[in-house]
Amino acid sequence: MSEQQPLLPSAATTTPATTSSLRKRRIITVVAPLVLVAATVFVVLFGERRPKEPLALANYYLKTSPVIDGHIDLPILARSLVGNDINKLDLRSRAPGHVDIPRIREGQLGGFFWSVYTDCHAEQDGPDFLNPSYHVRDTLEQIDVALNLIDKYDDTFRFVKTADEAVAAIKAGRVASFLGIEGAHQLGNSLAVLRQYYTLGVRYATLTHSCNNAFADSGGFITPVNETWGGLSTFGQDLIKEMNRLGMLIDLSHVSDKTAEQAIELSRAPVMWSHSAARGLNNISRNVPDELLSKIGQGRKQLDGVVMVNFYPAFASKTPAEVDVAYIADEIEYIAGKTGRAHVGIGSDYDGIESVPKGLEDVSKYPHLFAELIRRGWSKHDLAGLAGGNIIRVLRGAEEVAHKLRKRAPSMAKYSKRHDLDPRPLP
């Protein structure tokens, strides 16, 4: 793995305009060295130098490698607090929850996945399996409120669909805004719906939330739920293949161990955990076990991927009240010790968690986490990957796989049929 480069150039470069005028060329020839000397003296005397204090150095690094958070629940906060009436939600001042524009800027947040979430139901014979259409409605409303907020604050956010668009948005000073759906129950048991979500800009789909669905088994919340499929259903295997073909990232947060293992084995594209913690530090089913972490990498028998670390204290530790910046840094180092530093990222779960670590109260506090890792010897290249470079690499990998697959199979017509799980008669 080559060293991770900053997403933004470290300094702007300018090129003087050419001219056919000999006089202008002579003026430039004489003046340019003087300007260069003056600029050099100014930088030496007054310009920004690389700071030594960890927090100042973290902010310095994050200017060129800002955070791209894998999971922020701002859309569901807007739904629950103001009923999706975004005129009642002011992000330019102190907003409820963990996210607003002033704190975004303070925390050097350069991009994030707006989590599009609707609740699921645990019963196999309940509405998730037999009457899932309202999930599609609610998901579309969540996509709509996210896009409307992005449009309302278009001087801050920019809607993006690709890795290159994200980098371009960050270079333009905008917060790159992706969409992700948090559970395949939101597909309404239909791969046609998946394709329409992709068209609308969704770039990852979590295979389950806290309950089983038509595609896969969930890991539950704190303890496992009873298996329905033993991992992926046959329909879920089709889902993995179609996500690969589209270029939509497979998100393994929330899924059962068998589901994750089978998805890793089947997928031809990199995978992600958008907001997960380590089971080695807190033995609950929601967290990722060491044996799955060991499957993420770039070796011959491994699959490239990224584990984006969740900040929720109840997931992170058996003693949530003790979770602070240093503990989350411990978690990042624990996961990186299993996967390598090129396979970790930030997936805070802000606006979707009931409590936060001490020192990581909201999006303004990311630099404090990076300062802690600087104290532990993380290089600027490691930090650039953690901040956003690793998820950008993984997304590019999925895009490259999709490009190859679409050349061979430009459509997936066989997956357009209604699935056997849908018992409703055709009209």
> Which burial class, exposed, middle or buried, applies to 204 when counting CB atoms under 10 A from its CB (0-12, 13-18, 19+)?
buried
For this structure, is 403 an active site residue? no
| Confidence band of 128 (pLDDT split at 50, 70, 90) | low
Catalytic position from the list 98, 135, 209, 343: 209
For this structure, is 242 an active site residue? no
For this structure, is 135 an active site residue? no
Give pLDDT tens digits for 262-278.
999 999 999 999 999 99
For this structure, is 71 an active site residue? yes
Report CA dihedral (332, 333, 335, 340) to the nearest 10 degrees: 120
Catalytic position from the list 98, 121, 275, 381: 275
Give pLDDT tens digits for 189-220.
999 999 999 999 999 999 999 999 999 999 99
Contact between residue 255 and residue 218 where contact means Cβ atoms under 8 Å apart: yes
Is 80 exceeded by the pLDDT of residue 386?
A: yes
- Its pTM surpasses 0.75: yes
User: What residue type is 106 in one-letter code?
Assistant: E
What span, in angstroms and rounded, lies between the C-alpha atoms of 232 and 238?
10
Contact between residue 244 and residue 194 where contact means Cβ atoms under 8 Å apart: no
Model pLDDT, residue 122: 65
For this structure, is 182 an active site residue? yes
Place of tokens 């046609």: 192
For this structure, is 349 an active site residue? yes
Give pLDDT tens digits for 103-114.
999 999 999 999
Q: Dihedral sign for Cα 351, 353, 354, 360, please.
A: negative
User: Looking at residues 320-329, what average pLDDT do you find?
Assistant: 98
Model pLDDT, residue 40: 42
User: Looking at residues 361-378, what average pLDDT do you find?
Assistant: 98
Catalytic position from the list 69, 182, 217, 399: 182
For this structure, is 343 an active site residue? no
Catalytic position from the list 304, 330, 349, 399: 349
Model pLDDT, residue 37: 47
Model pLDDT, residue 16: 38
Contact between residue 255 and residue 183 where contact means Cβ atoms under 8 Å apart: no
Model pLDDT, residue 416: 57
